[in-house]
Each structure stands twice: as structure tokens, then as C-alpha cells.
Structure 1
């Protein structure tokens, strides 16, 4: 019997789920309904949860599909699929402190990420921002969408991962970090909805463009997709769980709590290679309308 509520947290995307105990086991009917909510809202927030064991978190994620292995990060010894998120006084960087889609540099980037934060900064902070790339696409005029549909972008990770985890004992001297080419507009394989698929952390170039033109267009796209109209901000409470769709969303973990400590466990689900389906239906009228001034700054626009 399905007995939970999905309360939207914004007019655009995101929902808070009540009536589900993730540690207590979820029957097939409830899990199927949660998948439907996941596809509808893009990110689900589960408040008031118990601390999940590695086995429990991995087991939940596996119900969505095979697990994704991070190409660089150190994994929890208890289970190689669990990535320990940990920032503290001596951390040179904090994970996710910049707009990105998880590991978009992979040929088959993760479709979903499940994160539980179990240690919060004592002084507050450590929120996570999410941005909806479907809404960012819908907000563009049809002629601009058409131009983006024909483009491919390169995603790289050498500049992100090389030496990043040295403080946690990772020697990556001989590591070869992934790079891939993906469509600038991707079609969601479960909903057929299009979204913009470039991000400031991993996307380095538009394939076939001169570097100056590529940089100009990418910077415009980065600024567009990062607009606050497409965002929500999640303030964590102890043992909250967030489950987000990397095929649709970007996120940004705010590191505003140094020298305090923040810690959690993350598991990701392997996805498929991004694609664009020209026969998929165009989305309905945008839920967000941007001013002409906001759009006119597009490179080559008028």
C-alpha cells in the first residue's frame, strides 16, 4: 500500500517526501510510486530519517539500477560504492563546491545520486543548491533551442580531479581521468523531456567551434542555467536524505562553514550515455519567463 506524500518545495521542481522510513524497508508498490515522484520532481528530500548503514543505502540505490563507481574519489572501506563526503578545518577543498552535474565527464554519467548528511556544521551552513536544466531549456525562445540542439560539448575531469584527494591518501600519479562528448541538449530517457547538459565544472568546449566562440557561448549558457529562477536551496537537518536526478539537475554544495565539519555518505547509480532525440516532443510553455534583457545578452543574439 502506497502511503506517502510528495509536497512540492517550489513551483518549478523538487519535493519533500513524508511518510517513508528509508531504513525500515520499502515495498515494491511504494518504491514504484517514489520513482514516479522522482521523475516528476527531479529531486526528493526525505526528512527525519534514521542513519542508514552502508548496506541499506547501497540496497536502496541498487533498486534504481547498477551502481556508479566514482573515477577519482576515495571510497568507504565498508563498501566500495559509498563515497564519504567530508569537509573540515584541514580540507583544501570541499566536494561539490561549484555548479556541476555529477561526473558528467564519464561516457555514462550517473543517473541519480543519493546523499545522507549525518554530521552538520555546528554553526550552521552547508546548504545545497539545485538548479533545473529542464526549466532552463524551457525558458529559451524556440529558435535558440533549435540552435543548441545541433551542438555537442566536451566534458573533461583532469583539471577537476588531479591531486584533489591527496589529503585523503589518494596517489593519482598514474591515473587517467575520463573525458567525453555529450549533446548540449539531452533527452531524458524516462520522460522524453529535453534539458541543457553543460556545467561550469566539467564542460570545457563546444565541439567544432573556435575557442573564443566556444568560451563565449559556454559562459553565456553557464550564466543562464545558474539563474536563481531555476534554483531551490536545501537546508540539511541531521540524517536527511536527498535523491536527485543528474540527467536533469545541477547542484552546488555551499562551503560556508569552515572551520566547522560536515560529513555524509553518497551513493550514485550508473546511467546511460546521454543522447538527443529529435523526435521527442517539445516541452509546453515555460513555467518561468525571463525578461528580454536577460536573454538578449546571448552571443550572437539580438
Structure 2
């Protein structure tokens, strides 16, 4: 009888040793992004009254075939509203509206609001940004959502560039629904029912002294908003904190609140959630202020950049 020897298994290679290394917690997260443009249950539908050219996966679309100087028909207004909900910021090239036409277009979405903290144009509800060597300071080089220090922040805004620098001066927008979707589940669990304080002072302290700001403290006391708001029209959940105005998360110690806010603020910085628009004179951007943050890029030195913005009054976030 012949015996068969059991072969000796080859030795398993030792796992190479690595030096200790760890990325600091609560940073930006690597990997694949969830880029969901439409809310669950909302089907894609064609547009019949204009052409739509998407500018990114989830945010930003250029609209052609619409003359904004003319009154909107109910059907056109409905389609533009649907496009705004789907793309969050709409771009219209070379419209060259006067202030009255720009205000009339914005009024299709509600009453206009004023802002006593900013320079005005032809009327109190037109904000004018005239930037150059001697222009007044304004919100540039910072991600923010407009006027979240109000009890009812703006629903949206219509911005027109009247004069553009030869180079630079772009504006970027970030999709805050995508920002929320891509947070780790454990972070979403922490913030889904949280509220945060918003105050106008941190943002405007960079521009004005106490003499200008002190009288407005009673006009704009700190307000509380949900950290994650629900869109009133489509039910989408969106991150609703921003660097300029959100000061703390209620119920947390200051250090814990600061750490969590730093993490949430970083979500606007993810390129996959952004769209960048290169302006030409007469262009219009119409954005959903409930669902976005934006960033005006000041990379044009002392060149002149003139813009006018009309803001549409909004509802109380929930």
C-alpha cells in the first residue's frame, strides 16, 4: 500500500507593516458622490417652450428661446418654475433688462424684498454691486445663502451683470440637496432634527463698523432655522447652514457645535455639487436661494464689475 504525503502549504506572506497614519476626522469624504438631481418620485419631463442646456450633473441649466423683457404667460411661468426646481439655478444669456424689467420678471415668483445693509440701484428693492478699485465691499470669496438671518429668508434672486471684467468675476453655485445626500448617515442622524442660530453680524462685520451695525441689531435679531430644511414645493431635504450667518447649533457645547458646523460648511466646497458661470454683459442668473449656496469669485483685481440683484421674499424654513 502506497502512502501519499500531504503537501506542505506555502507560507503566507506577512502583511507589510505601515507607519501610523490617520486622516483627521470630520473632513471631506472621498469616493463616489450620489448625484440625484430630481427628488424621489419625480419623473423627467420634456420642456416645450424653451431649450435647456444642463451645465452640470445636478445644478445649473442655460435656458434659450425666452425673452425675459416680455411678460410671461402662465404656461411659460410654470415651465420656468419647474426648471428652477429641477436645476436650482437658471442662466439666460444677453437679456439686457432694465431695472423695471428685471423687477417685473422676479415678481412672477412673489413680492420683492429690500436689504438696508447693501447699496441700492434705481429703487430700494434693487441691490447694486459696483466693484472696482473704489467700490463698496460685498460678499465675495465666501460660500453663503442670502439673508438667512431673516425669519423668512429670500426664496430666490435674479442677478444681472451690467459690466463684466475682461477676465474673471465668475459666480459659482452649490447644490445643497446633493450636499445633504452625501453626508454620512451618522452625520445626518445628528442634524435631521437640529436647529441653528443665524445672525447678520458675523457676515457684515467684515464690511461695516459698530456705528452702522448697532442700530440694525433690533431690526435683525438672531433667528433659529432647521439645520436641514425641507423644500416647500418638492419636499427635498437640503443642508441649510452657511459660513456667513450660521453661528451655532442649538443644544451643543460650543466646541462640538463649531466642529460640526465646520464639517457641514465644507459640503459646499465639493466640486461635484457645483456649477460655475462665466458672465457676459446682460446675462441673467435666477437661483433658488432655498436650495443653493453661491460664491462670487473676486479674481479680477481692480477691474470693474457691476451687477444688480433683485431678491424675492421667501417663507419660514421648516
> Quick check: TM above 0.5?
yes
Shift of the 139–27 alpha-carbon distance from structure 1 to 2, 3 Å rule, reads same
Q: Name stretches of at least 5 consecutive residues in structure 2 with no aligned partner.
A: 1-46
32 and 115 in structure 1: CA distance in 2 versus 1, 3 angstrom threshold: same
SS class of match (2:312) = strand
Mapping for residues 190-201 of structure 1, pairs under 5 Å: 190-201=233-244
Q: Which residue of structure 2 aligns with residue 284 of structure 1?
A: none
In structure 2, distance between residues paired with 1:71 and 1:192:
32
Question: What is the CA-CA distance between 1:189 and the residue it aligns to?
Answer: 0.2
Unaligned runs of 5+ in 1: 276-302
Q: Aligned runs of 1:253-292 on 2, under 5 Å? A: 253-275=296-318
Offset at 1:206? 0.6
- Which string of whole-angstrom CA distances, capped at 9 and with x for unpartnered residues, describes residues 227-248 of structure 1? 1121111111111000001110
TM-score, normalising length: structure 1: 0.84
> How far does the alpha carbon of each residue in 1:65-117 deviate from its partner, in whole angstroms, 9 at most, with x for none?
111222411322x3211000111102363434311000111110001010000
Question: Partners of 1:224 and 1:55 in 2: how far apart?
Answer: 36
Any conservation in 2 of the 1:2–1:29 contact (CA below 8 Å)?
A: no
If you compute each CA radius of gyration, which structure gives the higher value, 1 or 2?
A: 2
- CA distance in structure 1 between the partners assigned to 2:258 and 2:206 by the alignment: 25
Q: 1:65 aligns with which of 90, 100, 110?
A: 110
Alignment of 1:7 onto 2:89: no
Instruction: Return the match for 1:133 from 149, 170, 176.
Output: 176
Structure 1 residue 250, shift from structure 2 partner: 0.2
> Is the Cα contact below 8 Å between 1:126 and 1:253 reproduced in 2?
yes
Mapping 1:1-302, distance limit 5 Å: 2-49=48-95, 51-76=96-121, 78-91=122-135, 93-122=137-166, 124-162=167-205, 164=207, 171-172=212-213, 174-176=215-217, 178=220, 179-275=222-318
| TM norm structure 2 | 0.80
Task: Give the Å deviation of 1:160.
Answer: 2.1
Number of residue pairs the alignment of both structures matches: 269
Work out the CA distance in 2 between the residues paired with 1:65 and 1:94.
25
CA RMSD of aligned residues (A): 1.9
- Does the aligned pair in 1 maintain the 2:148–2:245 contact within 8 Å? yes
